[in-house]
Amino acid sequence: MKKIVLQLGVAALSMLACNGGDKEANEIEQLRNEAITVHDEIMPQISAFDRNTVKIDSLLASLPQLQAAYPDLDTTQTRTELAALKGRLEQATDSMMAWMTNFDVDPQDKSNTEIKSYYEKEVEKVKGLQQLFDEVAKESTDKLAQF
């Protein structure tokens, strides 16, 4: 009778341990998927950022013509603002490319706790990038709307 109770206890503990592992594996999978989902939301903006960069280059090259069309245009301020915006567009894109290069889809030789911690940090990073992209997209829309 003691052997049966002991065996049932061991079996129950084994099941709990396995279910705990499944729970942790599910959490890891959810974190990885969250990072990838945020990445997938950001990526389409890169092509818009590239188009805006080309537009800024065109505007900077044609500032004398713009001033003729818009006599009240402060070309020095416009040049400064457009150059700063172009820098932010490029910085956002470069940051995303760096994140993608460094993102480890399937970390090896780490414990589940380390993997979970890694993905939690990556989710934070990519959400920070998403915020940066949203800010730069709004700034681009606002500044380039007048041209």
Please report, for the chain, the start and end positions of each structural domain, with discontinuous segments joined by +. 28-144
What crossing angle do the helices spanning 2-61 and 75-102 adopt, rounded to 10°? 150
pLDDT digits (tens, 9 = 90+) for 74-121: 999 999 999 999 999 999 999 999 999 999 999 999 999 999 999 999
Percent helix, strand, coil in the chain, to 5, is 85, 0, 15
Which residue type does 88 have?
A: R
Torsion of CA 16, 20, 22, 26, to 10 degrees: 150
Q: Assign 21 a pLDDT band (cuts: 50, 70, 90).
A: low
What percent of the chain clears pLDDT 90, i.e. is strictly above it?
82
% of the chain beyond a pLDDT of 70: 86
pLDDT (0 to 100) of residue 68: 92
User: Which pLDDT score is estimated for 146?
Assistant: 87
